[in-house]
Structure 1
Amino acid sequence: MWAALASMEDPILHLAVHLTLVGALREGKVAGLTPEDLDFEGADGTGTFRINKCMQRVQKASLAKTGKGCILQEFEDKREGSTTTLVLKKTKTASSNRTIFMTAVLKEELKHWLKRLEMDEAVEPERYRNSGMLLRLPNGLAVEPILIRKKFIKWQDEHPEFTRIVFHGLRHSSATYQLMISGGDVKAVQGTTGHASANLLVNTYAHIQQDSRKKLGKKFEEGFYKSGTTPVQAAPVEAEPTISVSALLELLKDADPSVKAQLRLALLT
């Protein structure tokens, strides 16, 4: 994953993917971040960012019917005759609201990105339209989820050496990797991914458990059946039935003369 990220030259795509891999985010949550969500001194200087909003393009007709109770911001749309609008809204569930710990590398990238936003605005302040979002175009407009996906597809076309996946697959890759390196600490990973329950996370990534169990079984086999240990005991072979001489003579006493003759012959041969 790191090699793929390092090959992304588009600064918007690079930051979007980096945030996604660290936080196991959906593209709507990445696009919904604002500078106010960043806390570089959080967690004793580790740095954190909050997930509490989501950006989405919705049908205007549906928005009119359902109302704007969950809408935090509606972005200006100059496309004439458009039936959709870009909105910033609250997350659906309480579990979706969470705090993600930054990595040192991500922290530095975010600091440089904020300086870049200031420089973009300083170039042409009269034409700069500050959307208030973390991910912005050079003119200040918000970067919506579909643009992130398009940039990701373009990068994949230019880099066929990497496995082709949809952008949402990065969320699964992140969650999978975190489960692996944490030794299966479901609760810790759940805090990052925002799954409603630990069971949902476990069921979603059950294949990781299967792989882990296979590896555990292999380790058990290698450790339990060490060289020099007692081999598995073979089942005893059933012995041939035996009879004493005295018992044999007792049987011969009342035997038929022809049978006695056959037995004598068998004993002598």
Structure 2
Amino acid sequence: MASIVKRKNKYSVVFTYQDEMGEKRQKWETFATNSEAKKRKAEVEFQQESGTLVIPEAKTVRELLEDYTSIYGVNTWAMSTYEARRSLISNYINPIIGDMKLSDLNTRVMEKYYQNLLKVKSRVVNNRKPNNEYLSCHVVREIHKLLRCAFNQAVKWELMAKNPCINATLPKGEYKTRDIWDAPTLFKALELCDDDVLKLAINLSFSCSLRMGEMLGLTWDCVEISDASIANGAAFVFVNKELQRVNRDALEKLNEKGIVFKFPTFVARTNTALVLKEPKTKTSTRKVFLPKTVAEMLKVRHQEIQEYKELFGDEFYDYNLVFCNANGRPLEHQIITRSLQKLIRENDLPPVVFHSLRHSSITYKLKLNGGDIKSVQGDSGHAQVKMVTDVYSHILDEDRRLNAQRFEETFYQQKKPSAVSEATVEPTPVTPPVQEPQAITEEAMLNYMVQNPEFLQKFKVLLGVGN
């Protein structure tokens, strides 16, 4: 059993365990809040009962990260997060500071480490060529986030007195805005595209703000495209999974956590597996309504797949996927990527990546709905509104040109300098002077009565003249 002891403004979980020599020892783990301590107390008691209690005794960075990953990461990280962070640890942390003692770490050491990382060459991961020869400031920040969390846990485990990352200064780098297509360019690309699968992928990503994995993981049971729903504008896709290729080692370590379906292996001797997994975040599970044109495209796609089933018969692998090869097998992201790059190259279109279409989608939705961020967030599936406003809402050149045009018409086309100052401040309403009524001629009154019989009738009643 474990107990919680309050020490000043901290809360410590206290429990006993047996060391490697079989001797009983007492362990104190300190937390900032009572809720964190209660959560850890429950974990300890469960692990004590199941015989899985692991006591962190790390002395070096390497040992700490191993404990941190096995105790914390396995329970909280998603599959993609686990793979990415294990890669950072094995490629850029352990080879450089892995053997350093935790007691030797301080803010100055961490700042020097971050600066030196900028001189480290990027490694090839999963056969993907890195974008930069040397580590970027973005990667350094990801490493910092990982170490900061690990050292925070080490402080709670009382392996360190304080976190050396908290006050460390990170290298500054400029954030490069992702290039996107504006609407005319996108629809020009669609006109030039003769690949029906790519055309559907572009339209779905643009209209529904889908990530590549979400789109490739769509199954027909999550698509509502009946004639009635299309006519009523209620056609939709329901995003509740995504297609991803994962490392088999990560799959085993995480005990297939979050995996909805694992596809059979079609290639022997592979270290990876293709899976349908739960979405990135809880908010990523969502319903996105379809424009009627895109819904009709999906109906055509459904009919094509039915024809493939009849053609291949028993050799068709029916996984109920919207995006699949002619024989029904899953369609992976590199197929769509290669098709898009081929379209760009052959038609001299502005170079973008497929994810740029999601940026275009979110940008135009913000533009068309007058900045209704919450509705756009509902479509995009972002957990934080900040991602929508800061990262994805690109400023279109046409809007900026319109701003300049408005300034020209409002300020600079005025002949009098005073007109500019008047335009900047709303004028105070002035009551117009009372004008003397102008005389109405008999001829004008007669013409008005002829043209307005109702007024003539009222005039007769007023004068007491009979019909």
Relative to the length of structure 2, the TM-score reads 0.46
Q: Structure 2 residue aligned with 1:90, among 265, 275, 278?
A: 278
Unaligned runs of 5+ in 2: 1-185, 422-467
Q: How many residues align?
A: 232
Offset at 1:46? 3.2
Q: Are residues 1:186 and 2:373 paired?
A: yes
Q: Distance in 2 between matches of 1:30 and 1:10?
A: 17
Instruction: State the SS of the aligned residue for 1:73.
Output: strand
Q: Distance in 2 between matches of 1:82 and 1:176?
A: 39
Change beyond 3 A, Cα 1:62–1:181: same
The 2-side partners of 1:205 and 1:221 are apart by: 29
Equivalent runs, 1:1-269 vs 2, <5 Å = 1-40=186-225, 41-42=228-229, 44-160=232-348, 162-205=349-392, 207-208=394-395, 215-216=402-403, 219=406, 222-223=409-410, 226-227=414-415, 230=418
What is the identity, as a one-letter code, of the residue corresponding to 1:34?
T
Shift of 1:227: 4.8
**208-217 vs 36-45, which deviates more?**
208-217
Structure 2: distance between partners of 1:110 and 1:34: 12
Partner Cα distance (2:369, 2:198) in 1: 27
2:45 — aligned with what? Answer: none
Deviation track 1:192-212 (CA, whole Å, cap 9, x = no partner) reads: 111212222111146529986
CA contact (8 A) 2:362 2:393 kept: no
Which structure 1 segments of 5+ residues have no match? 234-269
Aligned-residue identity in percent: 31
What TM-score results when the alignment is normalised by the length of structure 1?
Answer: 0.77
Distance 2:313 2:339 in 1: 26
Q: 2: CA distance between counterparts of 1:176 and 1:68?
A: 36
| Aligned partner of residue 314 in structure 2, secondary structure | coil
Three-state SS of the structure 2 residue aligned to 1:106 is helix
Report the Cα offset of residue 71 of structure 1: 0.5
Amino acid at match of 2:215: V
Change (3 A) 1:220 1:232: closer
**Bigger relative contact order, structure 1 or 2, given CA contacts below 8 A and separation 6+?**
1
Q: In structure 2, how many angstroms separate the alpha carbons of the residues matched to 1:213 and 1:138?
A: 45
Runs of 4+ in structure 1 off by over 4 angstroms are 209-218, 224-229
Q: 1:197 to 1:217 in 2, by over 3 A?
A: farther
From the superposition, tell whether residues 206 and 144 of structure 1 become closer, same or farther in structure 2 (CA, over 3 Å).
closer
Tell me the distance in 1 between the aligned counterparts of 2:285 and 2:358: 16
* Deviation by residue 1:81-119 (Cα, 9 ceiling, x = unmatched): 111110001112121111111111111110011011001
Q: Which amino acid counterpart does residue 384 of structure 2 have in structure 1?
A: S
Rg comparison, structure with higher value: 1
